[in-house]
Amino acid sequence: MENLYSNHAPWEFEVFNNEDLPYHTFLYKLPVSCNYPPEPIQYNSSDGNEDDIVQLPYCVINKEVGNKYWNSIVESLSHPIQSSQELELAIKRYNKRVREFTALHYFFQVVDEGERNNFFNNLLPKIIKLALRLPELVSTNIPILKQNSCRSVSVSQLQVSSLLANAFLCTYWGAGTCPGINFDKLFNSHARPKREKCVLEKIRTLCHYFERITYKEPVGAITFERQYFSNDLPSWHNSTHCIKDTKICVVSNGLIENNSDGFLQVDFANKNVGGGVLGYGCVQEEIRFIISPELIVSRLFTEQLGPTEALIITGVECFSDYSGYGDTYTWKGNYQDTTPFDKYGRRRTSIVAIDAIRFTKSTEQYKANNMLRELNKAYAGFYCKLKQPPPIATGNWGCGAYKGDPKLKSLLQIMACGLCNRDIVYFTFNDDQLCKNLQEMIDFLVRNDITIGQLWKYLCWFSETKLKADRLYTFLQYIHFNTEKHPEEEMHNFSDKQMQNTVPKVIRRNILMNDDIVDEDLSLLFNVQ
């Protein structure tokens, strides 16, 4: 890991200049002191095409309707609320679309009396007060980060807290083209007994966030940047970049969010950012969003990610410690984030959301067009204009429920890092065998000066075989040595003995060893007669 810092301290990596981002919107004034919250920019939020901006609850649809709706919110929340049933009734007075609060009711049945009394007598009134400050804190249009566009927005942490307080109180009229941010889906998540505990722990984690930010106002800022590529993607088969030119560290212990200070941390995202964070979901992405709830606000203004798009988020704070995963997720208490700020008031924590393909059949992932999609997706997330960008911190992206193969996904991410001029640390999450196998594969690629272009060709050739996934690394080594020794030889007659008893045949058709069939990436599907 020390080698990846290249004589930098963790927080000395160059950061991008916010003011140079195209189509960037600031919701707060510069400069930022980090001693008190940034001052909000004030102007009439009724301006702009309503399809391109977030419909905030105080100006939903238009000013007249918005005023009426907002007044109903203020009126409904002005009365004392002493139970979750009363909270649900108050919310349904202004938003009849919300679900039943079955999980929230159960939460207050199982917590102790002191926690319950503290919430209704102390915390909830503060959440309501914070939510009702929205017209004061956010009177600026929030742009929707739309599909097929490069656009970004910077928001203060205090502005985010008011937006999230409104999400807690389900004041948003509708999600539009974005995933949605109202908490009623989480409050309703009580139909799966196996997820009962983790849903309660997620609610507890979110309550802790509101305890923190209502006790002391946060002073930082956060940037949300949508990065999109159309026709300017790499020609992977032509790349002469050697794998050895990328510094690669593979570790079995540690977590992305805890052990990669200053790196760009990969969020194994859903195409709707946040995935099931406001429902039953409680794996890598959802846990990251729960312990750093400011990430959730991205669901308010980020449309579904396309195949060559990513969302980069800089400046979020971590508020909670946790243990477990999935059904066993447990809030462990307060976390004090000591990450320093940059000149824009953002904590120097950057996260990139990239969504992998969800496969119904795991064998589909080895098809060349699917591998190409994952390569381009990783490139969209890792690309950066900085001369010396910070390394990538990642792991088994798109594996688990998405049925990805970490042996393949690790290589694709390493290849994307190479063309983005970024080093990489890969966490195998306590899988010692994967750590060993991947390190051996990397050593092979480095020792033999294998380029990204070569590796891509080999992976495409593997897609034309009937080999099982566990033969991938064996195949890559074998094919490299044999194509080096016999570049003109047909590759369809390898015997069991030649493959060291791994497969009866490696290639089911002739693979021509020339560049005529690789002039375009998609031609690597090898439609060879």
Interval 257-287: pLDDT, tens: 999 999 999 999 999 999 999 999 999 999 9
Identify the band that residue 526 occupies on the pLDDT scale cut at 50, 70 and 90.
very low
Spatial neighbors of 188 by CB under 8 A, at least 6 apart, are 99, 100, 101, 102, 103
Structural domains of the chain, count: 2
Spatial neighbors of 120 by CB under 8 A, at least 6 apart, are 81, 82, 83
Pairing of strands 309-314, 221-228: antiparallel
* 415 assigned to some structural domain: no
Among 425, 437, 436, 417, CA closest to 477: 437
The pLDDT of residue 387: 86
* 125 assigned to some structural domain: yes
Same domain, 459 and 319: no
Same domain, 349 and 454: no
Angstrom CA distances, 377 to 354, 406, 514, stand at 7, 16, 28
The gap from C-alpha 56 to its chain's centroid, in whole angstroms, comes to: 24
User: What is the arithmetic mean of pLDDT over 46-60?
Assistant: 79
**pLDDT for 65 beyond 80:** no
Beta-bridge partner residues of 424: 248, 392
- Annotation says 2 is catalytic: no
Same domain, 172 and 284: yes
- Contact assessment for residue 438 and residue 407, using Cβ atoms and an 8 Å cutoff: yes
The pLDDT of residue 515: 34
Same domain, 49 and 178: yes
Same domain, 273 and 143: yes
Query: Is the overall model pTM greater than 0.85, yes or no?
Result: yes
| Active-site position among 286, 317, 405, 464 | 286
Reduce the DSSP state of residue 309 to 3 states and report it: strand
Sequence ranges of the binding site for substrate: 270, 284, 325
* 367 assigned to some structural domain: no
**pLDDT for 201 beyond 90:** yes
Q: What DSSP letter does each residue of 374-402 carry, written as one string?
A: HHHHHHHHH---SSSPPPEEE-STT-GGG
Identify the band that residue 205 occupies on the pLDDT scale cut at 50, 70 and 90.
very high
Q: What DSSP letter does each residue of 207-232 carry, written as one string?
A: HHHHHHHHHS----EEEEEEEE-SS-
The pLDDT of residue 175: 77
Whether the bond between 31 and the residue before it is cis, its omega within 30 degrees of 0, is yes
Query: Which of 1-15, 59-73, 428-442 has maximum average pLDDT?
Result: 428-442
* 207 assigned to some structural domain: yes
Q: Show which of 325, 353, 381 is a domain's final residue.
A: 353
* 378 assigned to some structural domain: no
Q: Show which of 353, 376, 401 is a domain's final residue.
A: 353
| Active-site position among 184, 261, 285, 464 | 285
Among 202, 204, 216, CA closest to 118: 204
Sequence ranges of the binding site: 270, 284, 325
The pLDDT of residue 51: 81
* 49 assigned to some structural domain: yes
Identify the band that residue 354 occupies on the pLDDT scale cut at 50, 70 and 90.
very high
Same domain, 340 and 457: no
The pLDDT of residue 50: 75
Q: Show which of 311, 336, 353 is a domain's final residue.
A: 353
The pLDDT of residue 61: 66
Spatial neighbors of 97 by CB under 8 A, at least 6 apart, are 174
Same domain, 173 and 282: yes
**pLDDT for 383 beyond 80:** yes
Identify the band that residue 152 occupies on the pLDDT scale cut at 50, 70 and 90.
very high
* 291 assigned to some structural domain: yes
Same domain, 349 and 455: no
The pLDDT of residue 15: 80
- Annotation says 285 is catalytic: yes
State the residue range of the domain holding 146: 33-227+264-353
Same domain, 349 and 456: no
* 330 assigned to some structural domain: yes
Among 57, 30, 56, CA closest to 41: 30
| Active-site position among 184, 201, 267, 521 | 267
Same domain, 464 and 318: no
Q: What percent of the chain lies above the pLDDT cut of 90? A: 77
- Report pLDDT digits (tens) over 477-521: 988 887 755 443 434 443 333 433 333 233 333 333 333 333 333
Among 362, 383, 444, 363, CA closest to 411: 444
Angstrom CA distances, 192 to 196, 278, 279, 309, 402, stand at 6, 14, 11, 33, 20
- Annotation says 286 is catalytic: yes
Among 248, 247, 249, 251, CA closest to 435: 251
The answer for 457, left when phi > 0, alpha when psi is -120 to 50, beta otherwise, is alpha
Same domain, 202 and 96: yes
Mean model confidence pLDDT for the chain: 89
Beta-bridge partner residues of 313: 224, 351
Residue 368 neighbours by CB distance under 10 Å: 20
Q: What share of the chain is helix, strand, coil (3-state, %, to 5)?
A: 40, 10, 45
296-300, 361-365, 507-511: range with lowest mean pLDDT: 507-511
